[in-house]
Amino acid sequence: MSDWHESEIRVRYAETDKMGIVHHSNYLVWFEFGRSEFCRARDFSYKEMEEKDNALMVVAETYCRYKSPAYYEDVLIIRTKVAELRSRSLRFIYEVYRPSDQALLAEGETLHLVTDTNKKVRTMPELYREKLLAEEAIDDKAFPEGEAPR
């Protein structure tokens, strides 16, 4: 499948406990952040998929293995990629990494069923299937290097 997409976050005070350690529930929120950014990097959003094509990626299963704590003010990288894409489901995998000491803090996965707004399982629209499997989009500059807007 495709390469890792990396999204940077900084641990906020509200995500920590009295000792300044990140509460375990935040990792699933960060997985969602990574997943949303992964989709945006491939030129679509959840909102677009839901509103334009009546396709929702419903979380059916989650898994997270905690390896080392994260702390208030840590800068972290959420790595996300598609591990499996079937006709009506897909699986993302994640790594939460702290670059300052090169520590892998957590790893996990989420399984999603594709449904319509009536909660009926449906086939993933081909457009999004192609985008999910594509290599990460190149971040093109608005203007060619060395040229000013006209």
- Percent of the chain's residues with pLDDT above 70: 89
Taking only the tens place, the pLDDT of each residue in 69-119 is 999 999 999 999 999 999 999 999 999 999 999 999 999 999 999 999 999
Q: What is the pLDDT of residue 2?
A: 54
The answer, as to whether pTM is greater than 0.75, is yes
By annotation, the residues acting in catalysis are 17
Ordered structural domains, the chain, with CATH: 5-133 (3.10.129.10)
Per-residue pLDDT band at 135 (split at 50, 70, 90): confident
Q: What is the pLDDT of residue 94?
A: 98
C-alpha atoms less than 13 angstroms from C-alpha of 105 in its C-beta half-sphere: 24
Reply yes or no on whether the pLDDT at 140 is more than 50.
no
Q: Which amino acid is at 101?
A: D
- Name which of 115, 112, 122 is nearest 91 in CA terms: 112
